[in-house]
Structure 1
Amino acid sequence: MRMVFRWFGEGNDQVPLQHIKQIPGVEGIVWALHDIPAGEPWPTDRIKEVKQQADQFGFHIDVVESVNIHEDIKLGLPTRDKYIKHYITTIKRLAEVGVKVVCYNFMPVFDWTRTELFEKLGDGSTALFFDNEKIKDIDPMELVEKISSNTSVTMPGWEPERLKSLAKLFEQYEHVTEENLWSNLQYFLEKVIPVAEQHDVKLAIHPDDPPWSVFGLPRIMKNRDDVERLLNLVSNPYNGLTMCSGAFGADPKNNVPDMVNEFIDRIHFAHIRNVKNKGNKSFIETSHRASDGSVDICDVVKAYHENGFTGYARPDHGRHIWDEKCRPGYGLYDRALGIMYLWGIWDSLERSKKVEA
């Protein structure tokens, strides 16, 4: 398991690289050019600038999260070929600096949804929360304003240029079915995966978050069957998965350790986090500790370990603790605690393996 840490860039992240460097076992940063609109090719000079920043601290930049997909590709519009060409250009440029994995998603409009960014937990910390009762009655634009007003930093998936045309987007998706979305994803992958393989860059789709329809929008990466279908759309090892234990774990029907065991050969990137299911499709994010949530993180890590996983992994969203002022879900303290919890499980499994031998 190769531990990495998500970093939002110079001037856009309250967590500096020198602090990330002090977390044991972290070897690279997970990054993106968050100010580049979806569909636009990433400039080579900007890509090299991030590499130079990472090099100063001995970090690699092997994993990018995310290269966002333009809505015209998801909608299957005639303009999609232009944006697919731009996507391919970005992949080629990323390969030039050694990028090995690109995380992306195929969620319409929003790439994650929560009703609260700072819901209080019993210990006084706060965390991201999805209240299914609230989402039923809230207007999407009202939620956008709420998310935007809660933070002064960029929020991935809630970029202003995407949300300013929200009404038009909902109108465009009105008659788009899940089958339409599957067809458009296949079209995209058939164009992009051969180029990705040629340049040794693996694509790793992120599951829907949460893994069900929100605001009536189609969702196609919700469960084990969806993953199997995705991997068969283009049967190529460069067409793979970002296995997010929190996104899949929000649905109690998803058995995350079993999914890890089944799809291990196509998991190119692991997001390991915990959620507490509150019933009726409501959930709150918790510490990484297995007993604090509904996902058995010990069994998740055990599945990776037993399968000899050598891919990239990161702690995913953390709580906001010790009065840290940070981007929602992405403070330093709780993610660092999460890393040490994951390493503790991993090291114990390693020790047991040596004893058995």
Structure 2
Amino acid sequence: MYVGTQLGGSKLEEVGDRYLRQLAQLGIVHVCIDPPGNPYSWTRDVLRRHIDRVDAAGLVLDMVQLPLPSSGIEKNHQSPGIVLGQGPERDREIDGICRLIEDLSAMGIGAAKYNFNLLGIPRTPSERGRGGAILSTFRQDQLTDSDILTAAGQVSTEQMWERITYFLERVVPVAEANKLRLACHPHDPLTPPGYRGMEERVLGSADGLKHFVSIAESPYHGLNFCQGTIAESLENPREEIGDIIRWFGERKKIFNVHFRNIKGGRYSFTEEFPDAGDMDMAAALRLYKEVGVDCMIMPDHCPDIDGEAPFETAFAFSFGYIIGLFHANGWDPYGR
């Protein structure tokens, strides 16, 4: 268990090698950073050059993102067939992901994260937090698009589980054969039943995620455990999150942790800095350690702040907070 971070390929091109060096200077060693371009176009040569680029900055590439993004179906131009359950396209995309898993494993990358997402990340107007920081917000009573269907139309719970099961039954055996851990992100957030045509957001609750990890059971099938997203589905995150961490952690289903805090809970919350939300993050980190979690603990969805480098500054604060919690417990935060 060690501090880490993530960066998409397009963001990497924006911030460049300077930011990779900055991560190393701040004490980050392990990362999830994608090569530029569509993942279906990543060859072993592309991956080799990317690994060398990351290594040159003093970092270790633990994980990348598969071509199943967090964006909703209107913006998902990589694998629409998989999430829509459309025959020939679905099978072609799954074959491409299986080839990518084989290539990632061959290049020594041990994990990949992904989303199975039709709605994207719904939010209502942002609110102000500490010092005027802008907080990503979801309030059910402010929703204005509940009756606007996505391109997927009406989707039943049964249909969603069929699509997920179809994918897992074909991909998980390939991941197991190649010893590559597949880490799925929960649906962010849990939305009211029927929202935008979704009968139920099946990966938006702990119960749904428990069912998910039971499909195609394997030590290589688990979660990108977003603590903030799971907290968004709870009535009382501070009291309930510990039992959920324990349940998934004891079953070795946590392959990456988004260490994010919120204020509020089900259908009404703001995303916060780790020290400003309702959950006891120090207690959560101790629990991850207790149940034997062995992966990156990383910031996620930091609030928007003022300054000349708001992205870098907000994440630097969060890195320092996580590293401080490790040191307070006498643990090495760097995975050495």
Amino acid at match of 2:25: Q
Q: Where do 1:207-356 residues align within 5 Å? A: 207-213=186-192, 214-217=195-198, 218-253=200-235, 255-264=240-249, 265-277=252-264, 281-289=267-275, 292-325=276-309, 331-350=311-330
- Mapped contact 1:102–1:204 kept (Cα < 8 A): yes
CA 139–177 in structure 1, closer or farther in 2 if over 3 Å, else same: closer
CA 177–42 in structure 1, closer or farther in 2 if over 3 Å, else same: farther
Partner of 1:59: 59
Equivalent position SS for 1:294: coil
Partner of 1:90: 100
Q: State the superposition RMSD in angstroms.
A: 2.4
Residue ranges of structure 1 left out of the alignment (5+ in a row): 141-166, 352-357
- Mapped contact 1:41–1:87 kept (Cα < 8 A): no
Q: CA deviation at 1:202?
A: 0.5
CA 195–41 in structure 1, closer or farther in 2 if over 3 Å, else same: farther
Q: Where do 1:102-121 residues align within 5 Å? A: 102-110=112-120, 112-116=121-125, 119-121=127-129
- Mapped contact 1:67–1:103 kept (Cα < 8 A): no
Q: Where do 1:143-222 residues align within 5 Å? A: 170-171=150-151, 173-213=152-192, 214-217=195-198, 218-222=200-204
Partner of 2:74: none
Q: CA deviation at 1:301?
A: 0.8
Q: Give the whole-Å Cα distance in 1 for the aligned partners of 2:87 and 2:59.
A: 40
The 10-residue stretch of structure 1 (28-37 or 314-323) with the greater mean CA deviation from structure 2 = 28-37
Q: Number of aligned pairs?
A: 310
Q: Residues 263-306 of structure 1: CA distance to partner in whole angstroms, max 9, x if unpaired?
A: 111111111011112x77232211111xx212221221121122
- Mapped contact 2:145–2:196 kept (Cα < 8 A): no
The 10-residue stretch of structure 1 (81-90 or 5-14) with the greater mean CA deviation from structure 2 = 5-14
Q: CA deviation at 1:119?
A: 3.9
> Structure 1 residue runs of 4+, over 6 Å off?
none
Amino acid at match of 1:232: S
Instruction: Tell me the TM-score normalized by structure 2.
Output: 0.84
- Mapped contact 2:262–2:271 kept (Cα < 8 A): yes
Q: Give the whole-Å Cα distance in 2 for the aligned partners of 1:243 and 1:191.
A: 22
Q: Which among 65, 75, 93 is matched to residue 84 of structure 2?
A: 75
Amino acid at match of 2:253: R
Q: Which among 2, 22, 41 is matched to residue 19 of structure 1?
A: 22
Residue ranges of structure 2 left out of the alignment (5+ in a row): 70-78, 332-336
Amino acid at match of 1:23: L
Q: Residues 22-63 of structure 1: CA distance to partner in whole angstroms, max 9, x if unpaired?
A: 112x212212246417xx353333322321210111211111
Q: Give the whole-Å Cα distance in 1 for the aligned partners of 2:145 and 2:94.
A: 36
- Mapped contact 1:274–1:293 kept (Cα < 8 A): yes
CA 189–41 in structure 1, closer or farther in 2 if over 3 Å, else same: farther
Q: CA deviation at 1:209?
A: 0.5
Q: CA deviation at 1:181?
A: 1.0
Q: Give the whole-Å Cα distance in 2 for the aligned partners of 1:13 and 1:239.
A: 32
CA 72–109 in structure 1, closer or farther in 2 if over 3 Å, else same: farther
Amino acid at match of 1:106: F
Q: Residues 167-204 of structure 1: CA distance to partner in whole angstroms, max 9, x if unpaired?
A: 8xx34x22321211111111111111111111111101
CA 223–324 in structure 1, closer or farther in 2 if over 3 Å, else same: farther
- Mapped contact 1:245–1:295 kept (Cα < 8 A): no
- Mapped contact 2:2–2:296 kept (Cα < 8 A): yes
- Mapped contact 2:262–2:279 kept (Cα < 8 A): yes
Q: Give the whole-Å Cα distance in 2 for the aligned partners of 1:62 and 1:324.
A: 30
CA 66–78 in structure 1, closer or farther in 2 if over 3 Å, else same: closer
Q: Give the whole-Å Cα distance in 1 for the aligned partners of 2:231 and 2:179.
A: 30
